[in-house]
Amino acid sequence: MRFRVRSGVVVAVMAVTALASTATRAQEEGNPERGEHLANTCLGCHGVPNYKNAYPNYSVPKLEGQHREYIVIALQGYRSGDRSHITMHSQASSLSDQDMRDIAAFFSREPLKPDAQPVGNAPEAAQVCVACHGQNGVGITPQYPTLAGQHADYIERALLDYKKGGRKNAIMGTFASQLKDSDIRLLAEYYSRQRPALQTEHRPSTILTAGND
């Protein structure tokens, strides 16, 4: 009888532990349904095809298909000031880490996979990029951003920010500092042509999106 009681306790503890582990994992991965609700503000810019940042003028990045972990890292960078962007800093400062994970889960429901051959010939400067961003611009780990199909002017702007210190990252800062502006443009154009491509997340039709779907 005592053995049965002990066995029952052990099973119960194991079940509770398993449930707690599942809940923790789900929390870490993010809740896309909650993220969709939180992302309403994000979609004001990231949900409009070809929408541009006002000043300086460049395309707002596509997020659909991006790595979940990378989106969280980016949002944390805007919140901390490691990435210089007033609007994004203001938005990210209002988000908890869980909010960021949920928003990231919404945008990255189906992260891109490197299942296609590179489009065109990679510029010489891309020989270093492939170590993290892959042959066709799909980040090789979830912490590295996917570049495939991203707006060329956004990639160019990001590299210039790394080069000039607007974005603080030791690896990217060192790499970008060695690039000529002409190299940066070539890299941006190359990765913007790669497939499969990132997409602009759809949002309910408005005066800004009508006719652009």
Structural domain includes residue 39: yes
Using CA atoms, how far apart are residues 166 and 189, in angstroms rounded to an integer?
21
Q: State yes or no: cis peptide before 196, omega within 30 of 0.
A: yes
Bridge partner residues of 64 (DSSP): 199
Is 18 among the domain residues? no
pLDDT of residue 182: 97
Spatial contact of 81 and 89, defined as CB atoms under 8 Å apart: yes
What is the pTM (predicted TM-score) of this model?
Answer: 0.84
Q: Assign residue 58 the CATH number of its domain.
A: 1.10.760.10
Is position 107 within any domain? Answer: yes
Range of the domain at 172: 32-192
- Confidence at residue 15, expressed as pLDDT on a 0 to 100 scale: 44
pLDDT (0 to 100) of residue 202: 83
What is the structure's pLDDT at 116? 84
Look at residue 137 and tell me if it is in a domain: yes
CA distance linking residue 79 with residue 73, whole number of Å: 10
Q: Please state the domain count of the chain.
A: 1
Question: Using CA atoms, how far apart are residues 26 and 41, in angstroms rounded to an integer?
Answer: 24
- For tokens 């190299």, the residue is 183
Question: What is the mean pLDDT of each successive set of 10 residues along the chain, which is 213 residues long?
Answer: 57 42 63 97 95 95 98 98 97 98 97 92 96 95 98 98 97 97 98 97 61 49
Place of tokens 């400062």: 93
List of long-range contacts for 89-93, beta carbons under 8 Å, 24+ apart = 91/41, 91/42
SS3 per-residue string spanning the chain: CHHHHHHHHHHHHHHHHHHHHHHHHHHHHCCHHHHHHHCCCCHHHHCCCCCEECCCCEECCCCECCCHHHHHHHHHHHHHCCECCHHHHHHHHCCCHHHHHHHHHHHCCCCCCCCCCCCCCCCCCHHHHHHHHCCCCCCCCCCCCCCCCCCHHHHHHHHHHHHHCCECCHHHHHHHHCCCHHHHHHHHHHHHCCCCCCECCCCCCCCCCCCCC
